[in-house]
Structure 1
Amino acid sequence: MTHPNSFGSRATLSVGGKSYAYFRLDALRELSGGNVDRLPFSLKVLLENLLRGEDGAFVKKADVEALAKWDVTAAAEKEVAYRPARVLLQDFTGVPCVVDLAAMRDAITALGGDPQRINPLQPVDLVIDHSVQADEYGTAEAFLQNVSFEYERNQERYRFLRWGQDAFTNFSAVPPGTGICHQVNLEYLARVVFTRDDNGETLAYPDSLVGTDSHTTMVNGLGVFGWGVGGIEAEAAMLGQPTSMLVPEVVGFKLTGRLPVGATATDLVLTCTEMLRKKKVVGKFVEYYGPGLGGLSLADRATIANMAPEYGATMGFFPVDEETLKYLRLTGRSEEQIALVEAYTKAQGLFRTDETPDPVYTDTLELDLSTVVPSLAGPRRPQDRIPLRESKQTFQLHLEETLAKAGTVAAKAELANTHKVSASPELHPGVVATAVEEQEPEGVEVEYNGQKFVLKHGAVVIAAITSCTNTSNPSVMLGAGLLARNARRKGLAAKPWVKTTLSPGSRVVTDYYEKAGVMEDLDAIGFYLAGYGCMTCIGNSGPLPEPIAHAVEKGKLVVSAVLSGNRNFEGRVNPHTRFNYLASPMLVVAYALAGRMDIDLEREPLGVGADGPVFLRDIWPSPQEIEDTILQSVKGEMFAKQYANVFEGDEQWRALDVPKGATYAWDPKSTYVANPPYFEGMTMEAPGVKPITGARVLGMFGDSITTDHISPAGNIAAASPAGKWLIAHGVTTREFNSYGARRGHHEVMMRGTFANIRLRNELVPGTEGGVTTTQPGGNPVSIFDAAMQYQQEGTPLVIIAGKEYGTGSSRDWAAKGTVLLGVRAVIAESFERIHRSNLVGMGVLPCEFTNGDTRQSLALTGFETFEVEGLSEATLRPRARLTVKATAPDGSEKRFEVLARIDTPEELSYYKHGGILPYVLRSLVGGKKS
């Protein structure tokens, strides 16, 4: 379609003797009441997207005018259609995306269409980074052994991805062993300014993306516009569908001052996460501004942007400035590209300087960087920051709560003997427990690797330098290396019960480790390279050594993991670690040396070295030492070398036997990849809005139910429905792999839905895990088995929940599994952004309680029969108010109002079609769109 160019904004930009077409934002300045110059930078990028995307259909002239005049301080709603420049996938979420595309090729063929019409229309990069597991550790062979195990487990998935790379246009795969998708994106894939051919001209425009991992936001630190979406939304974007969104509120986060000595970027991001969670920024953009930006490296900014999902925001955006250009040059981008980025962003008012007036924001908050203190977060949520000086006391308080919940007299007596408590003025208000008199508690004697020790509550059994939050940041990574060097010189090493792993975000990290000479120091204290990938943070921590695991189970010990990642939800990291803490790589090393959480790192020694007790302050590197080491060891040629042949892969990748053909030859014996049932019996006519009557509750849950609770990524238990299915199909427990690796097979993932070992269903109080019951006081059965029973009876299902339902990773299986179990609606107090969208994208109705109602205030038991009264084509519209009737077993009725969280007309169309994929498929064949 010809671009209307209603505002006469298409112009030419000359850079280095080359001409680029672009759409000028300043063409909108003359609009009456225009606010273009004072819009937040992030909204300017969105405005350019609309201006360039004006087509009279999805983007109308009025849409551009509305955003150009937007008052960010007013409470207004406006739907817009955003088209990203590209799509980023990782393999856990990428495999089901490619499975769905392959299934759509089969479905479009069955409907009489051309399978070649199913192709990404936008560039798609898939980075294989979530499949490597930390099986081996603590030896020089760990990396090669883990890679070997990875290929052994995942050959079938990798062959399938190689088929997709050949079968689909605009699709590239970065092979295993390269790095984490966000870091590869930051260091290589991101362009900041994108270009493409447009009617014989080279069109320049801001780089933007959606990604199938919530931490896509890391690249916001580079001034790139984008965020995480569910796999189904990403597939729609690949197929040319715009991403429908409401213009968000933009919260300005002003940074002043500089970080003090001893504080790291990790401490800063944990502080920001705590502040922004309290600010309630779910569904909003956060944009950083203020004089404090000048003291933050690009890597520091990327660290803060990365954790936007943890603080609940859609994005954590940093504008382009001189630091951006400096980073592009360091990471080997061409001088031509850097010149284009500078010229384009300055021409468009997208380049920030110290003289740039502050934009107008919906709301603001401020942080003086000099007030940031060393911190960690835990033991269950990333926003629960703990100042390091209070970590011992808060650990003991959480331990007391956990043992009290166990409800045993023995547990309480043991705790009383472990530590006597009294008030401490150093703690936050409400926290009044600290150890003042200690006795040695009982523990479990262990013999492992020729050493004997007693394992107790509070033992750190996993210490992992891992994941995308920190591993892109040379200051904290080299800080950890220097800490290891100093510890080694003092004669310290990790305690023998600690599983120590190093999994950097890219090969560049080990290059600069080698250059700095700290790799052998990390090896010496236990942190050998385990792999390049998410590993521990995604739940691929691998098993604990059998003697350690046995001791934890025998003593019912509350043991911990400390990781430099971004996720520490219950049951995610490892089934044996009830407590999980996020910390900087430097503190990960420190806790590995100490081997326990019940330690005051400011006042107690980490251990005894060759010359006596060694305190953390004795081995902590100075900021100047870290800065000097960065300057001496982080070189641009490292990036150029590692990314020169990034898509080629190693010998094992190149040797894969790859299937051929436009459609995939599904193997009915496969336990990894199967044709999903989403399109079975599909016709060209959309099913429309179906009534929900006679529905029963499959599960009733509390607050902060994460996508890990709904669709775990890690360990598959042999006794679980998924484990039983795999065993029945000839898979040994050693070959189970993980839920994340098996996301290409719906039979496994259906059985894994609501299978998290720490899930607590209020229908079966006092239990943990994926169980429910169909009647008050009934015997617990697996949620999967109950759902199948309800399906046989033709009974629709609902989920009832508290606040922040669907927090966490943007995994589409949390929505896909929900719908395949027969759930028609989820009624919660509030939803996390991505999961709400995913539910709609799978044809599930998300509803929010209104008028302050909750499941408790309404005295819902979960054993009622539910009806959404009058649900029909006529009554359902975006954000409609609906009435739910709950009928108790004794016949008594309650009615309450809910808000249908179908937020836009486009989402309503998706819902009427039974989901976004049927909608796209029908539109490609030529069917009705609404």
Structure 2
Amino acid sequence: MASLDTFGAKSQLSVGDASYEIYRIDAVAGHDRLPYSLKILLENLLRTEDGANVTAEQIRAVGGWDAGAEPSVEIQFTPARVLMQDFTGVPCVVDLATMREAVRDLGGDPSKVNPLAPAELVIDHSVIADIFGRSDALERNVALEYQRNRERYQFLRWGQTAFDEFKVVPPGTGIVHQVNIEYLARTIMERGGQAYPDTVVGTDSHTTMVNGLGVLGWGVGGIEAEAAMLGQPVSMLIPRVVGFKLSGELPAGATATDLVLTITEMLRQHGVVGKFVEFYGPGVGAVPLANRATIGNMSPEYGSTAAIFPIDDETIKYLRLTGRPDAQLALVEAYAKQQGLWHDPAAEPNYSERLELDLSTIEPSLAGPKRPQDRVPLRHAKDMFRTALRDYVAVGDQGDGVEGRVDEASAESFPASDPPAMGEGGAGDPADKPHTELISAAFGADGRPTRPTRVTVEGTEFELDHGAVVIAAITSCTNTSNPQVMLGAALLARNAVAKGLTRKPWVKTTLAPGSKVVTGYYERSGLMPYLEKLGFHTVGYGCTTCIGNSGPLAEEISAAIQGNDLTAVSVLSGNRNFEGRINPDVKMNYLASPPLVVAYAIAGTMDINLDTDPLGVGGDGQPVFLRDIWPSATEIEEVIASSIGRDMFTADYSDVFAGDEQWRGLPTPTGDTFAWDGQSTYVRKPPYFEGMDRSPLPVTDIAGARVLAKLGDSVTTDHISPAGAIKADSPAGRYLAEHGVARADFNSYGSRRGNHEVMIRGTFANIRLRNQLVPGVEGGYTVNLLTGEQTSIYDASTAYQAAGAPLVILAGKEYGSGSSRDWAAKGTALLGVRAVIAESYERIHRSNLIGMGVLPLQFPAGQTADSLGLTGTETFTIIGATALNEGVTPKTVTVSTETGVSFEAVLRIDTPGEADYYRHGGILQYVLRRMLDS
């Protein structure tokens, strides 16, 4: 509908021969002192003002924004488009298909369930790096991807034909965020004769990568994304905005990765959860667009909602390079300058808080071994690794002196395809017996825990010890958009090969480019053979290692690690290194730039100082140091200039939605509603709308609740939401076996996100989860307090629900940090959890819990479960949320136990919109009833 235009903001903008309707920001008092990001929100409200969802009061509130105030004013933000990747996108489409049936069953028109804003899905999370280190790795991994995901891909092809405004970028194209900045992002939208800022919400928390292009966007849960697709605004509080002033330029030897790890550390220490971060100042012009995208990408790692760079000449330069039409370039520049959105390096906007960074102070760094914010200066990496190692190896552990053995659990860690030959990174012939021999197990002369283990693979014998780098992966959206670091890695590989260096035989080396453009400039520059000489063959165009799709290690190496409890390491150019995420054989994970990934593949160990220790011995018998093969910034820029051109982008994206022959050849179901296959183990109709009435039932108190899990600090959505491989002896594995699925076809949790039965069984099943109800035990286990027996969390949930007992989760600080995962909330709700009581929450997960009808509560300030004397064995009563039935959101509710503990928990329903969602039992039910009422 047209805006009420209370402020008379509607105007025309002429650009060349075209004229566009715009809503002028300068129509609102106070606009000139607003940060860039709030100007975008102000325009959004002016254009969507309807007097109900968006009011003149909201517009005035943004114009009169108090930079120093705590967020308290709710606004309704309407994103211009929705972006999805396939893991989170499949359940979105499943839910939309289910909503169509629910609308029909309640007497409505199912065609109303249709995206009202452009929605684009990029299939990039399904490829697994099973095969590596060989020229046909990409071809074979893609073949396995189609074999495993045929049902899902057919379902998505149905969605592309059944829903308007829904497009799918097929497999093998690139990583969602790189495809977004290279092709999908508009920077300034043109739609229906209007011009307005491109804004986006995405089902991946790293949607913020597009912030580098001047586009305001952030990650939301799948359920929020579905609501946005259906025209529902995103309810939010006007945020605090942190101004991050940049000056200077990066020194020689420092990369975008080093910069972003420093910024991540600074912002985590400062505290930016729930805030916007905005970069400004004279140093902004010295940050290339690809580096800006890298910084924006890591926003979830430092906790901000968004981390945006304003539009400037660098933005236009990048849009031109990536093949955007000249008319689009003209519109972006004219609109940004007209609306005061063009960056002025000398300006000092009004900010809530400020930080500063001189780019010349950046030094080479890593981050790890388990959190992105834990920066490790490269010069101290060896010492800090040795210190961290003692957290993984028991002090005093002298070993048991027995031969290495195969741990049966390790054999179930990853899905297998047809058994690949040895050396491909697969399991090999099951009849083969790996040879491992424990040499010794003691402490070195320097006090470092050591457990050297001899391993033989395909006739090559070598020694593994704590700290062995067994995975070196150039992967993930963080860096593969960045030619400086990607070509830097290739040049370093060339120089290493020229010196006679090679990777260590135990290192699984993988290259997963963010788009085919990367392959194009690798080939045009002639550098691809050098990467391949070190084992960095392309394994797929997808997220692979960073999301747990690293694929298996060679059986002999896996057996040596498991049998001798070695603390192995991965080094990856990704953005996530949480425990249990990368590979079940790997305990320590370090984030690094692509050139350093190559360097550690050559070194083969984290127990090395790359500043002072040689990487290896060259062909001439002389030691070779990292400094000997590190390419200069001038050389990198020369290769960029000669190997990257606009033609590469226009060619690769000329028909991006069509796909290859495999994609086009998939049989496509038809019809407005989906014909569910009752035998499918990939796509099943979820139960969210079963028994739903046209009017919501009243909110009730919670009584007789038992604790399903008592958790500590920093429990991430990776701990909660199913991801990675499905173990055969897990509840999900047993479910698949019972439905006739062979072990080799289990695939991953991510690929089965469209099947709620699998996902419920995998919720809270992370192999590194530590539930304090079962001390000393890792994984998805708990105590069934009705019987006293230790069991899986899923089986306990089933027993509790059969007994009519509601469930609660107790947790510490930063509960739900990490990726934007709808299944972390969906699975929690379907397990029968009615409330979570935590010390603090990550923004997206708290919102998602409400969206699934789960009550997010917070312990009183300064209090914890332990300080209140809660053991998790109590029975809980929660009283006071019923005030929501009268339209009142209480600040606290009363939590009590039969043991006499009682406290006032803060009710973390922060906006009236969230209160509406909770009253309706969830956001999808709310949207569906709104559709029926309209």
Same fold? TM cut 0.5: yes
Give the paired residue count.
Answer: 896
Q: Does 1:103 align with 2:108?
A: no
1:383 aligned partner? 373
2:161 aligned partner? 166
Q: How does 1:700-739 map to 2 (within 5 A)?
A: 700-739=710-749
1:7 aligned partner? 7
Return the letter of the residue paired with 1:903.
D
1:898 aligned partner? 905
2:536 aligned partner? 527
**Could you tell me which of 142, 145, 150 is aligned with 2:140?**
145
Q: Does 1:476 align with 2:485?
A: yes
Return the letter of the residue paired with 1:618.
D
Asked whether the equivalents of residues 676 and 746 of structure 1 are also in contact (C-alpha less than 8 Å), the reply is yes
Deviation, 1:415, is 7.6
Deviation, 1:691, is 1.1
Deviation, 1:634, is 1.1
2:110 aligned partner? 115
2:88 aligned partner? 93
Deviation, 1:734, is 1.3
Return the letter of the residue paired with 1:648.
A
- What are the superposed Cα offsets for residues 543-564 of structure 1, whole Å, 9 maximum, x if unpaired? 1111111111111110011100
Asked whether the equivalents of residues 825 and 844 of structure 1 are also in contact (C-alpha less than 8 Å), the reply is yes
Return the letter of the residue paired with 1:417.
F
Flag as ranges the 4+ runs of structure 1 deviating above 6 A. 411-415, 875-879
Deviation, 1:409, is 5.4
CA distance in 1 between counterparts of 2:773 and 2:747 reads 31
CA distance in 2 between counterparts of 1:157 and 1:855 reads 42
Deviation, 1:38, is 1.3
CA distance in 2 between counterparts of 1:658 and 1:773 reads 46
Return the letter of the residue paired with 2:111.
Q
CA distance in 1 between counterparts of 2:21 and 2:785 reads 66
Distance 1:895 1:156, change over 3 A: same
CA distance in 2 between counterparts of 1:876 and 1:358 reads 45
Deviation, 1:879, is 6.2
Deviation, 1:515, is 1.0
Asked whether the equivalents of residues 562 and 582 of structure 1 are also in contact (C-alpha less than 8 Å), the reply is yes
1:417 aligned partner? 443
Asked whether the equivalents of residues 3 and 46 of structure 2 are also in contact (C-alpha less than 8 Å), the reply is no
Q: Does 1:79 align with 2:79?
A: no
Return the letter of the residue paired with 1:675.
K
CA distance in 2 between counterparts of 1:249 and 1:512 reads 41
Unaligned runs of 5+ in 2: 402-438
More displaced 10-residue stretch of structure 1: 764-773 or 364-373: 364-373
**TM-score with structure 2 setting the length:** 0.94
Asked whether the equivalents of residues 163 and 658 of structure 1 are also in contact (C-alpha less than 8 Å), the reply is yes
1:914 aligned partner? 921
Deviation, 1:66, is 1.4
- What are the superposed Cα offsets for residues 282-330 of structure 1, whole Å, 9 maximum, x if unpaired? 1100001111112110000000000000000000010000100000011
1:130 aligned partner? 125
Q: Does 1:494 align with 2:503?
A: yes
Asked whether the equivalents of residues 84 and 209 of structure 1 are also in contact (C-alpha less than 8 Å), the reply is yes
- What are the superposed Cα offsets for residues 209-240 of structure 1, whole Å, 9 maximum, x if unpaired? 10000000000000001100000000000000
CA distance in 2 between counterparts of 1:2 and 1:550 reads 65
Return the letter of the residue paired with 2:17.
G
Q: Does 1:788 align with 2:783?
A: no
1:398 aligned partner? 388
Asked whether the equivalents of residues 884 and 915 of structure 2 are also in contact (C-alpha less than 8 Å), the reply is no
CA distance in 2 between counterparts of 1:20 and 1:411 reads 76
Q: Does 1:839 align with 2:849?
A: yes
Deviation, 1:868, is 1.0
Q: How does 1:496-895 map to 2 (within 5 A)?
A: 496-611=505-620, 612-775=622-785, 778-873=788-883, 880-887=890-897, 891-895=898-902
Q: Percent identity?
A: 62
Q: How does 1:419-458 map to 2 (within 5 A)?
A: 419-421=445-447, 441-458=450-467
CA distance in 1 between counterparts of 2:288 and 2:227 reads 35
SS of the aligned residue for 2:363 comes to: coil
Deviation, 1:745, is 0.1
Q: Does 1:37 align with 2:10?
A: no
SS of the aligned residue for 2:392 comes to: helix
SS of the aligned residue for 2:740 comes to: coil
- What are the superposed Cα offsets for residues 738-794 of structure 1, whole Å, 9 maximum, x if unpaired? 111100000000000000000000011001000000349944210000000000000
**Could you tell me which of 329, 339, 348 is aligned with 1:348?**
339
Asked whether the equivalents of residues 284 and 345 of structure 2 are also in contact (C-alpha less than 8 Å), the reply is no
Asked whether the equivalents of residues 399 and 451 of structure 2 are also in contact (C-alpha less than 8 Å), the reply is no
Deviation, 1:873, is 3.2
1:293 aligned partner? 284
**Could you tell me which of 351, 355, 363 is aligned with 1:373?**
363
CA distance in 2 between counterparts of 1:551 and 1:618 reads 34
2:17 aligned partner? 17
Return the letter of the residue paired with 1:448.
V
Q: Does 1:359 align with 2:369?
A: no
CA RMSD of aligned residues (A): 1.6
Asked whether the equivalents of residues 443 and 555 of structure 1 are also in contact (C-alpha less than 8 Å), the reply is no
CA distance in 2 between counterparts of 1:778 and 1:456 reads 40
SS of the aligned residue for 2:283 comes to: helix
Deviation, 1:371, is 1.3
Deviation, 1:455, is 1.3
Asked whether the equivalents of residues 723 and 748 of structure 2 are also in contact (C-alpha less than 8 Å), the reply is yes
CA distance in 2 between counterparts of 1:317 and 1:339 reads 21
2:176 aligned partner? 181
- What are the superposed Cα offsets for residues 408-455 of structure 1, whole Å, 9 maximum, x if unpaired? 55389988623525xxxxxxxxxxxxx7xxx9x442221113311111
Asked whether the equivalents of residues 182 and 216 of structure 1 are also in contact (C-alpha less than 8 Å), the reply is yes
Asked whether the equivalents of residues 155 and 668 of structure 2 are also in contact (C-alpha less than 8 Å), the reply is yes
CA distance in 2 between counterparts of 1:295 and 1:488 reads 32
Deviation, 1:730, is 1.1
Unaligned runs of 5+ in 1: 29-33, 422-434
SS of the aligned residue for 1:677 comes to: coil
Asked whether the equivalents of residues 878 and 903 of structure 1 are also in contact (C-alpha less than 8 Å), the reply is no
Asked whether the equivalents of residues 878 and 904 of structure 1 are also in contact (C-alpha less than 8 Å), the reply is no
Deviation, 1:138, is 0.1
Distance 1:874 1:285, change over 3 A: closer
Deviation, 1:76, is 4.6
**TM-score with structure 1 setting the length:** 0.95
Return the letter of the residue paired with 2:527.
V
CA distance in 2 between counterparts of 1:75 and 1:529 reads 48
Deviation, 1:5, is 1.2
Return the letter of the residue paired with 2:223.
I
Asked whether the equivalents of residues 305 and 317 of structure 1 are also in contact (C-alpha less than 8 Å), the reply is yes
Return the letter of the residue paired with 1:388.
L
Distance 1:54 1:415, change over 3 A: farther
Asked whether the equivalents of residues 722 and 759 of structure 2 are also in contact (C-alpha less than 8 Å), the reply is no
SS of the aligned residue for 2:541 comes to: coil
More displaced 10-residue stretch of structure 1: 555-564 or 60-69: 60-69
SS of the aligned residue for 1:679 comes to: coil
SS of the aligned residue for 1:765 comes to: coil
- What are the superposed Cα offsets for residues 699-750 of structure 1, whole Å, 9 maximum, x if unpaired? 0101111111001311111111101111111112211111111000000000
Deviation, 1:2, is 4.0
CA distance in 1 between counterparts of 2:824 and 2:549 reads 18
CA distance in 1 between counterparts of 2:839 and 2:526 reads 52
Return the letter of the residue paired with 1:828.
A
Q: Does 1:322 align with 2:348?
A: no
1:428 aligned partner? none
Deviation, 1:109, is 1.0
Asked whether the equivalents of residues 881 and 899 of structure 1 are also in contact (C-alpha less than 8 Å), the reply is yes
Distance 1:702 1:875, change over 3 A: farther
CA distance in 1 between counterparts of 2:496 and 2:886 reads 64
